[in-house]
Structure 1
Amino acid sequence: MPAETKKNRLFTTGELQVAGLAILTAVVLTLSVQVVEASVRPSLGLYDADPAAVAPIPDVIDARPVV
């Protein structure tokens, strides 16, 4: 009779625990990589500076559509 009351499951409890651990590890790894990248991002030079502090390039005007 115990075989009839046991649920038919696709995965065993151990397999579900391993899958959950793998998902948790992937999430933690992804978040930690994002935190590290945000804290040590490279300098963008002039592109990262305040636009008012950057001197304009000589002989360059605002782009306008060709009519």
Structure 2
Amino acid sequence: MRKQTNKKPQLFTAGERKAAGLAILAAIILTLSGQALEAMMRPSLGLYDANTAAVASIPNVIEAQPIAGV
């Protein structure tokens, strides 16, 4: 007796699916490594980059106020 198989026709070959998977994986790795490198190499923002609770106020400096009557 012959065994019946219900195979669907494949749109892509196994090699094409493997190449696409590797391309997606490479894109993900490249993106994540770029983001990690950017986070390590970004310029310092000075006081704006620090935690506001940890930054002491600068002595003799007052906050900017709008000019009255303009």
TM over 0.5: yes
How many percent identity over aligned positions? 54
- Alignment CA distance shift 1:59-1:48 (3 Å): closer
- Tell me the equivalent position of 2:22: 21
The structure 2 residue matched to 1:60, chosen from 22, 40, 64, is 64
When the two chains are superposed, the root-mean-square deviation of aligned CA atoms in Å is 2.9
Which runs of 5 or more structure 2 residues have no equivalent in the other structure?
Answer: none
Which runs of 5 or more structure 1 residues have no equivalent in the other structure?
Answer: none
Instruction: Tell me the alpha carbon deviations over residues 1-58 of structure 1, each in whole angstroms, 9 at most, x when there is no partner.
Output: xxx8764101111110110011000110011011111111210023124543342744
Query: What is the TM-score with the length of structure 2 in the denominator?
Result: 0.62
Which aligned segments of 4 or more residues in structure 1 are displaced greater than 6 angstroms?
none
Superposed, which structure 2 residues align to 1:1-67 within 5 Å?
7-49=8-50, 51=52, 52-55=55-58, 57-58=61-62, 60-61=64-65
- Alignment CA distance shift 1:10-1:53 (3 Å): same
Higher percent of residues as helix: 1
Aligned length: 59
